[in-house]
Amino acid sequence: MKKQTYIYRSFERFWHWSQALLIFFLMLTGFEIHSSYKLMGFQNAVKWHNMAAWAFLVLIIFAIFWHFVTGEWKQYIPTSKFVKEQFRYYISGIFKGAPHPTKKTRYNKLNPLQRLIYLGLKLLVIPVQVLSGFIYMYYIYPNNPIHSSMGTIAVIHTIGAFTLILFVIAHVYLTTTGETVFTSIKAMLTGWEVVDVDEKEEHIKHMKDAVEKSVAGYYRLDKNGIFTDVNAAWLKMFGYKNKDEVIGKHYSIVREEKYMNRLDELVANVLKGNKIIGIPAIRKNKDGSSGKHILSANPITEGGEITGLEGFVLDINESDDYSQHMYDAVRNSRAGYYRLNSDGYFEDVNKAWLELYKYEDKKDVIGKHYSFSRCEEDLKNLDDIFKRVTVNGETISSIIATRKCKDGTKGKHLLSANPVYKQDKIIGMEGFILNLPEEK
Amino acid sequence: MKYMKSKYDFYKLLATFIFIMLPWLFALIYNVYYKKDPYQAKIMVQNYNTDTLTGADHSKFKELQKDFKSPQEVTETCLSCHNNRGKEFMHTEHFQWLKKDSIPGRGNFEMGKRNILNNFCIGINSNEQLCSMCHAGYGYGNKNFDFTNQDNEDCLICHDNTGTYKKSNPCAGPNLPGAGNPSPGVNLSAVAQHVGFPKRNNCLSCHGVGGGGNNVKHGDLEMALNKCTRDIDVHMASKDAKDNNMSCQKCHRTTNHNIKGELAMVSSSPKNGISCVDCHTDHPHTDKLLNNHFRQVACQTCHIPTYAKVNPTKIYWDWSSAGKLKNGKTLQYEKEITADDTICKSGDYILAEDLPNLKSRDNFENVKLEYNGKHGTAVFANNLKPEYIWSNGYFDHQFISDKITDTIHPLILNKPFGSYKDNRYPSDKKHPSKIIPVKIMRGKQIYDKGNMNLIQPKLAGKIKGSGAYWVDFDWQASASEGMKYLNLPYSGKYSFIETESIWPINHMVSPKEKSLTCEECHSHNSRLAALTGFYLPGRDRSVIVDKGGVILIILALIAVLIHAIIRIINRKKTTH
């Protein structure tokens, strides 16, 4: 994806063009001092060369400061990746209209060849020129510590000058290899250029913005359950004022003791690699009051290892009818709860379940295989569901099923089922059933 | 594509460029309008006074109102009042023609005109009758002259303010007095009544005519300095009322008849020397960069771009070609020569353009060859560019007793001790070696092939058969008479050797506007081409680096060109 982007900031452009001007001027006067031609006279050439040298030194100091303050120096970290490709592009690919082997982005302005060459320029050629130049300038003063090597210094300075000319030739020519001949020069003048936008980078940026500005509370825990990040919405929801009050603390601060087990389970579950897409929860706020929210959680993986979890919390407040109903439906409905072990034997049922199946006592159910709750013709469906859940680990949200009651009558209900984990092993299946009234 | 996002961006861009250009503009304006032009700056002078007192009017003194029978009588009268001056003057080089000096590495010597040989008229011994024309004394006709008799001092040659006092030239005609006596026509009492501080003319009457004629010897000292413009010499100029019109003593400061100043040909150390710095300080320029040259470059180097600005000076004297006669008279002729003329009539032939003195010359105007049977071949030229050497003011000397070890290269009669190394690590901290302008006198002179030393020939004389070369034209007799006079051995075998003598150029300082520009030295066509062993910006370069650099630039340009052409061709292909 390409986008008009502001890639060269004001100072950068000021620095670049001043440097270009100074190098050109130093070249012009320097080679006159070298007696390569006659232009303004030796005396003037020396005077201007020295003056430009001081200007250059000042500019360099500013530029070094700027590079470190803005972190732009990182643009020059050399890389061996794609150097060959870049080189091959310039000597063959460019003729065939091949695309640039590397993408130019705001965060990666320089191709690997540029990185290498510019770094060499900044760390070797320019320092050598500045150093040898100033030694040259002050060499004739009496009592100088460097003796009898004026020629060496001058020759080094000359070699540096030739190197810079070669650089300028290549540099100026390569500016024409952009989108159009003048694209790169225009970009260096205005600061704006159409460059690649790193989609992942952009996405991360957007997400980050979204999280920061979201009404949803965001949290992040490390694998020990310690908070590493929360956003403003989270703080507001939980009644905290400052991130520091939360970060570094264990998640137990946000639950009453009675709900702790559920959260422990949830965390353990997610750290195993599962995702929780929204379950209702009751939180403990900072001031001890409680509130309801829907919670999501997913593991954070770094380098193939789970290092923590993160997710969102959505507040459920009284005025939010929809979420309130959802919550109530789950909590207070006459939904029957069941739990089977991995072999299909009942481990637990609730009162509502017993009512729906017209049993009086749990004892009549627990320990029996689920096949007793179905007629012959419906059993196949349940076998299928049980297999999907316990073997494949699927979660089944709502399926219409027909039950066989104690007295032999039949009834219809909506069935949900999800696997029960112990560590990373499925040890059973559990779920709810909601009675479907008889059609009239 | 839209580059300017808004007007704001355009202004930002404009501001950036103004920021880039502003310092340049300031620097330019400062340099062009505000910085002092080095030529406009006032020249700072220290320790310089002009006399406010006029001297006593000697015409009023009774002692001088008489008819003097002899010059010695004048001296006696002078000393009757100036009674301590006689003793004082007696010990000076002007009377003794000898002084104590030390040569580094060789020890102390007595040296001066009395025992030093040059490559003009070679030496005074056995020729005193003529040479003492410039001796500040009376009667120095041979080596037995009494140097302790105050009455033999010649006060008038220096103190005559009438300009009429002259010493007799015994060679100018028959029966003329010699040995430093006044010319027959001089009115001694008139001169004696008009004495005063020496004027330029007094000094120049000897120092301007050394070597046998005006400006022959030094090249930077000649009679024209009596009345010259600033272009000839800024200090001595007197044509305009505003001119400095400085007397010699303004620089050659004198106390008790000791006149400061050293001459490389008859001195070996700068002990009694003078320097521009005495008045001008060691940082006389407004430009720091120019002042920085002080450590390596003598003031004279830049400020005396040419010497012999008016009359020609002798730069070559080949004694070996002397002796040609025509109809019993000495052969004499003069001719203008060009670069490819040969100038040596006997022995080796050399081209005029190969004379180092003439090498840097743009044209060969006013280069003259003069032949005289008495002297041999000589070359004269004016407006000469000096040659340059490293000098710390110390010079060795080839005394007549010193052995000649090398006959292939020219023998340097006063070899300088200066060097680039001595500039860096001076042997005499007060006098580090500097680059100075010099006239190098070249020639061929007689030497003893058997004993391998220089010969003092007897040249001047009037009597045939006395051995004087200018009468007998016989080198054998001349050499044996000259050496016998000095009680020195002569093997009987003579030959001629190429010699060089070095004459530092200190006078004829040009106005500042006419001093050397940087390019005169800092260029491939450098005046300092002969001085090697150090890096001179603008003159020197590494040939490998320069050639390699240019080749690489050409290759880079070719590569870019080819690359661009292929790109253009391929683009056309793809668009069609």
What does the pLDDT look like over B446-500, one tens digit per residue? 999 989 999 999 988 888 888 889 888 889 999 998 999 999 999 989 999 989 9
Q: Would you tell me which residues 423-442 of chain B have a C-beta closer than 8 angstroms to some C-beta of chain A? A: 424
Tokens of B298: 């003598």
Which residues, numbered 12 to 71 in chain B, qualify as contacts with chain A under a Cβ-Cβ cut-off of 8 Å? Answer: 12-13, 16-17, 19-20, 23-24, 27, 31
The pLDDT assigned to B181 comes to 87
Asked if A316 and A293 touch (Cβ cutoff 8 Å), the reply is yes
If you ran DSSP here, which 8-state letter would residue B115 be given?
Answer: T
Q: Do B545 and A159 touch (CB under 8 A)?
A: yes
pLDDT band of residue A329 (cuts 50, 70, 90) is: very low
Nearest chain B CA: its distance from A167 CA (Å): 9
CB contact under 8 A, A162 and B524: no
Which residues in B lie closer than 8 A to residue A158 (C-beta atoms)?
541-542, 545-546, 549
pLDDT band at A210 (very low <50, low <70, confident <90, very high): low
Residue A407 to residue B558: CA distance in whole angstroms: 101
- What is the C-alpha separation between B209 and B214, in angstroms, rounded? 4
Query: Residue A189 and residue B13: Cβ atoms within 8 Å?
Result: yes
Q: Does B534 touch chain A (CB under 8 A)?
A: yes
Q: How sure is the predictor about A189, in pLDDT bands with cuts at 50, 70 and 90?
A: confident
Split at pLDDT 50, 70, 90, the class of B35 is: low
Per-residue pLDDT tens over the stretch B126-142: 888 888 899 999 988 88
Look over chain A and give the mean of its residue pLDDT values, rounded to a whole number: 80
Find all residues with CB under 8 Å of A376, minimum gap 6, and list them: none
Average pLDDT score, chain B: 85
- B555 and chain A in contact, CB less than 8 A: no
**Pairing state of beta strands B494-504 and B411-412?**
parallel
CA angle A320, A325, A326 (to 5 degrees): 105
ipTM of the complex: 0.79
% of chain B residues with pLDDT over 70: 91
DSSP letter for each residue of A363-375: GGTTTSBGGGGS-
Rounded distance between C-alpha atoms, residue A96 and residue B566, angstroms? 10
Gap between the Cα atoms of B132 and B151, Å rounded: 16
Asked whether the beta carbons of B301 and B435 are under 8 A apart, the reply is yes
pLDDT(B356) > 80: no
What are the structural domains of chain A?
2-196 (1.20.950.20), 201-328 (3.30.450.20), 333-436 (3.30.450.20)
pLDDT tens digits along A128-156: 999 889 888 877 655 555 555 678 888 99
Count contacts between A and B (CB, < 8 Å).
Answer: 116
Whole-angstrom distance, CA of residue A301 vs CA of residue A279: 22
* Residues pairing with A125 in the sheet: none
Q: Does B289 touch chain A (CB under 8 A)?
A: yes
Asked whether the beta carbons of B296 and B534 are under 8 A apart, the reply is no
B94: pLDDT confidence band, cut at 50, 70 and 90?
very high
Single-letter code of the amino acid located at B514: K
Average pLDDT over residues B425-430: 86
pLDDT band at A23 (very low <50, low <70, confident <90, very high): very high
pLDDT tens digit string along A353-402? 888 888 888 888 888 888 888 888 888 888 888 988 888 888 776 677 88
CA B485 from chain center: how many Å?
31
Residue in B12, B424, B563 closest to A148 by CB = B424
Chain B: closest CA distance from residue A159 (Å): 7
Q: Which of B423, B541, B568, B571 has the most A C-beta neighbours within 10 Å, making it the best mutation to test the interface with A?
A: B541
CB neighbourhood size of B6 (10 A): 9
Query: Does position B155 have pLDDT exceeding 50, yes or no?
Result: yes
Contact (Cβ atoms closer than 8 angstroms) between residue B503 and residue B219:
yes
CA-to-CA distance for A33 and B64, rounded, in angstroms? 67
Helix (H, G, I), strand (E, B) or coil at A348: strand
pLDDT at A327 over 50: no
Distance from CA of A295 to the nearest CA of B (A): 44
- Please check the confidence at residue A166 and state whether its pLDDT lies above 90: yes
Verify whether the Cβ–Cβ distance A140 to B552 is below 8 Å.
no
Verify whether the Cβ–Cβ distance A170 to B556 is below 8 Å.
Answer: yes
Contact of B3 with chain A, judged by CB distance below 8 Å, is answered with yes
Q: Tell me the shortest Cα–Cα distance from B539 to chain A, in angstroms.
A: 7
SS3 (DSSP) at A262: helix
Asked if residues B522 and B504 have their Cβ atoms less than 8 Å apart, the reply is: no
Report the residue from B542, B548, B567 with minimal CB separation from A95: B567
CB contact under 8 Å between A190 and B3, yes or no, is yes
pLDDT digits (tens, 9 = 90+) for B39-62: 555 677 777 776 667 778 888 888
Q: What is the pLDDT of residue A334?
A: 60
CA distances, A83 to each of A95, A101, A140, A359 (Å): 18, 9, 44, 77
CB atoms closer than 10 angstroms to residue A355: 13
Judged by a CB distance cut-off of 8 A, whether residue B519 touches chain A is yes
Q: Which of chain A's residues have a Cβ under 8 Å away from the Cβ of B534?
A: 150-151
Contacts of B540 in chain A (CB under 8 A): 151, 154
pLDDT score of B143: 86
Helix (H) / strand (E) element for A19: namely helix A10-33
Side-chain half-sphere exposure of A223, counting CA atoms within 13 A: 9
**Four-point Cα dihedral B219, B222, B227, B231, nearest 10:** 0
Token reading at B70:
């002899």
For tokens 């070559």, the residue is B316
Q: Across the strands, what pairs with A301?
A: A306
> Where residue A331 falls among pLDDT bands split at 50, 70, 90?
very low
Best probe of the B interface among A35, A40, A117, by most B CBs < 10 A, is A35
Q: Chain A within 8 Å of B405 (Cβ-Cβ)?
A: no
CA A101 – CA A141 distance, rounded (Å): 52
User: Is the Cβ of B325 closer than 8 Å to some Cβ of chain A?
Assistant: no
**What's the mean pLDDT in B94-104?**
91
Q: Which amino acid is at B329?
A: K
CB contact under 8 A, B566 and A95: yes
- Residues in chain B within 8 Å Cβ distance of A142: 295
